[in-house]
Amino acid sequence: MSEHRIKLKVNGEAESATVQGHTTLLRALRSMGHLDVKSSCEAGDCGACAVFLDGEPVNSCLMFAAQANGCEIITVRGIGTEESLHPIQRQIVEKGGVQCGFCTPGIVVSAKALLDKNPNPSRQEIRRELAGNLCRCTGYQKIFDAIEAAAEEIRQ
Amino acid sequence: MDYLFVESVDEALKAAQSPGVAFLAGGTNLVPDVLFGRKKPDLAVDISRLKELRFIEEHDGRIRIGSLATLTDLLESDVVRTHALPLHECAAEFAGPLVRNRATVGGNLLDASPAADLAPPLLALDGRAELVSLEGKRSLSLDEFFLDYRKTAIRTGELLTAVSVRSLEKEDCSGYCKLQLRRAMAISIVSVALFLRIRGGRCTDVGIGMGAAAPVPYRSVGAENCLRGEIIGKEEILNSANAAREDAKPIDDVRASGAYRRRMCGVLLRRLLQNALNTSTGNLSA
């Protein structure tokens, strides 16, 4: 059984942890206190655990923590906080795109990745880029409305 | 499970000399397999940052794709979209964006699911696999690579470094269709990839790759033989679709019955052929 000391940046802060070879990045992040990263299917099917890894949105349940050594991670808290919400976060609340809220962190990560690449996405493009994020509560439409509204807000 | 990060192909090969060693690239299969106890490697050798294995290049009528090219790399590649369209269309239907950012070409093939999405287009496009070991290199045709259910021709201590496919010419026809129960994030019920070369009104070459219709992904040779050398009309298309049904060895599972899969092998191939031949440029999927 190997133990590994990993160093990473999370939301701009240098952090380190000791993990085992088989510890997933998701479980490591949560044990480091990043409870805004949600654990749901742990199989890469639901997207609740999505984070940015060196600028790319990924399922954190699909990596061993040791693979993230030296990497930069952004979680939903790094996209915006209660004091300073990102337009995506504000709009998803205002448009009724949050019910239980469990899928929301992963959705915000995927939405941010989309709008960074494509500031004016069509509804179809939004649906495709959010294909990896499941929501059991809202039926998705208000989430897509929120992303459209956020895109417009950012463009202005 | 032990974990080892390596910085070169040579280091990777040296670390992988025993059967209990697994190469770790995107981790999209291996990590959940380990978490849920389906795989129990003694050691995971992390090759995910070997930049020399992450490339897409065109040379001499073939496109070479490094085994660490991600599905996103495939999807965003102009070379793949322009000269290997079925592969682009396959990447567009593969899982979802979060998975595509990590999943690799090599990983999809070596996981060796009968439904491995990349296999049918790679097979249809005359795919070859390049393997390297401490003893040297070897390459083989992909239709010799999938030996049996979840068993490939790779040996202990070998690393899959690249695959290559033919580069399609402007006049070539192609198609891809993945039958699935959702519009994303779904394992295929059946998938079909088609390459068709018509010159002087006659089919001079053809490749038909089939997925999730047998214990391994395969080329439907029977279906190909109905087309090769022929002037393709309604009769040839129906014969080819029939042969595709006969070549299939599908099972019943949670997603579909074997009988339905068998029937869909014919339906999907027929549609792809009809689409390919109905347009002058011919590059449409069903």
Tell whether B139 and B189 lie within a shared domain: no
pLDDT higher than threshold 90 for residue B280: no
pLDDT band at B279 (very low <50, low <70, confident <90, very high): low
**Cβ contacts (< 8 Å) between A4 and chain B: which residues?**
3
Judged by a CB distance cut-off of 8 A, whether residue B77 touches chain A is no
pLDDT band at B166 (very low <50, low <70, confident <90, very high): very high
Tell whether B18 and B44 lie within a shared domain: yes
Tell whether B41 and B140 lie within a shared domain: yes
Tell whether B180 and B126 lie within a shared domain: no
Of residues A22, A47, A69, nearest to B98 (C-beta): A47
Residue B86 in domain: yes
pLDDT band at B262 (very low <50, low <70, confident <90, very high): very high
Backbone phi and psi for residue B41, each to the nearest 5 degrees, phi listed first: -70, 150
Residue B286 in domain: no
Q: What is the pLDDT of residues B110-134, one digit of tens each?
A: 999 999 999 999 999 999 999 999 9
Of residues B34, B183, B185, nearest to A45 (C-beta): B185
- Biggest CA–CA distance in chain A, Å, is 53
Q: What is the pLDDT of residues A101-138, one digit of tens each?
A: 999 999 999 999 999 999 999 999 999 999 999 999 99
Q: Residues in chain B, how many? A: 286
Q: Do the Cβ atoms of B102 and A22 come within 8 Å?
A: no
| pTM score | 0.96
Tell whether B183 and B80 lie within a shared domain: no
Residue B208 in domain: yes
Query: How far is the C-alpha of A48 from the C-alpha of B90, rounded, in Å?
Result: 25
User: Of the candidates B166, B185, B201, which is a domain's last residue?
Assistant: B166
- What residues of chain B, 169 to 188, have a C-beta less than 8 Å from chain A? 183-185
Query: Can you give the CATH number for the domain in which B251 is found?
Result: 3.30.390.50
**CA separation (Å) from B146 to A11, B19, B116, B229?**
43, 19, 11, 27
pLDDT for position B258: 98
Residue B66 in domain: yes
Of residues B28, B48, B98, nearest to A57 (C-beta): B98
Q: What is the pLDDT of residues B47-93, one digit of tens each?
A: 999 999 999 999 999 999 999 999 999 999 999 999 999 999 999 99
Q: Do the Cβ atoms of B32 and A57 come within 8 Å?
A: no
User: Cα distance from B42 to chain A (closest Cα, Å)?
Assistant: 9
User: Of the candidates B166, B194, B217, which is a domain's last residue?
Assistant: B166
Tell whether B151 and B265 lie within a shared domain: no
Tell whether B144 and B261 lie within a shared domain: no
pLDDT band at A146 (very low <50, low <70, confident <90, very high): very high
DSSP result, B245-266: HHH------SS--HHHHHHHHH
Burial (CB count <10 Å: 0-12, 13-18, 19+), residue B279: exposed
CB B65 within 8 A of CB B164: yes
**CA separation (Å) from B5 to B9, B16, B43, B83?**
11, 12, 11, 35
pLDDT higher than threshold 50 for residue B282: no
Of B163, B81, B171, the C-alpha closest to B128 is B163
Query: How far is the C-alpha of A145 from the C-alpha of B206, rounded, in Å?
Result: 45
| Mean pLDDT rounded to a whole number for chain A | 97
For chains A and B, CB pairs below 8 A equal: 90
Tell whether B6 and B121 lie within a shared domain: yes
**Cβ contacts (< 8 Å) between A69 and chain B: which residues?**
5
Tell whether B107 and B180 lie within a shared domain: no
Spans of all domains in chain A: 3-78, 80-155
pLDDT for position B278: 86
Q: Write down the residue that tokens 């994303």 correspond to.
A: B184
In DSSP terms, A118 is beta-bridged to: none
Residue B284 in domain: no
The residue of chain A nearest to residue B35, with distances taken between CA atoms, is A22
**Cβ contacts (< 8 Å) between B28 and chain A: which residues?**
44, 59, 62
Q: Is B165 helix (H, G, I), strand (E, B) or coil?
A: strand
pLDDT higher than threshold 60 for residue B241: yes
Tell whether B98 and B205 lie within a shared domain: no
pLDDT band at A1 (very low <50, low <70, confident <90, very high): low
Residue B257 in domain: yes
Tell whether B91 and B24 lie within a shared domain: yes
Query: How far is the C-alpha of B231 from the C-alpha of B200, rounded, in Å?
Result: 9
User: Cα distance from B279 to chain A (closest Cα, Å)?
Assistant: 26
Judged by a CB distance cut-off of 8 A, whether residue B3 touches chain A is yes
Query: How far is the C-alpha of B164 from the C-alpha of B63, rounded, in Å?
Result: 5
Residue B79 in domain: yes
pLDDT for position A2: 84
pLDDT band at B283 (very low <50, low <70, confident <90, very high): very low
pLDDT for position B77: 98
Q: What percentage of chain A carries pLDDT values higher than 90?
A: 99
pLDDT for position B285: 42
CATH class for domain A80-155?
mainly alpha
pLDDT for position A29: 98
User: Cα distance from A6 to chain B (closest Cα, Å)?
Assistant: 12
The residue of A1, A23, A67 whose CB has the most chain B CBs within 10 angstroms, and thus the best one to mutate to test that interface, is A67
To 5 degrees, how large is the angle CA A59–CA B68–CA A66? 50
User: Of the candidates B149, B166, B183, which is a domain's last residue?
Assistant: B166
pLDDT for position B249: 98
Q: Do the Cβ atoms of B97 and A110 come within 8 Å?
A: yes
pLDDT band at B284 (very low <50, low <70, confident <90, very high): very low
The residue of A51, A58, A108 whose CB has the most chain B CBs within 10 angstroms, and thus the best one to mutate to test that interface, is A58
Residue B283 in domain: no
Q: What is the mean pLDDT of residues A139-148?
A: 98
Of residues A21, A24, A61, nearest to B44 (C-beta): A21
| Mean pLDDT rounded to a whole number for chain B | 96
Spatial strand order of the sheet with B21-24 comes to B2-5, B43-46, B21-24
To 5 degrees, how large is the angle CA A37–CA A7–CA A132? 30
In chain B, how many domains are there? 2
Please check whether the domain covering A3-78 is classified as CATH 1.10.10.10. Answer: no
Domain that holds residue B63: 2-166
In DSSP terms, B46 is beta-bridged to: B5, B24
pLDDT higher than threshold 60 for residue A144: yes
Tell whether B46 and B160 lie within a shared domain: yes
pLDDT for position B286: 37
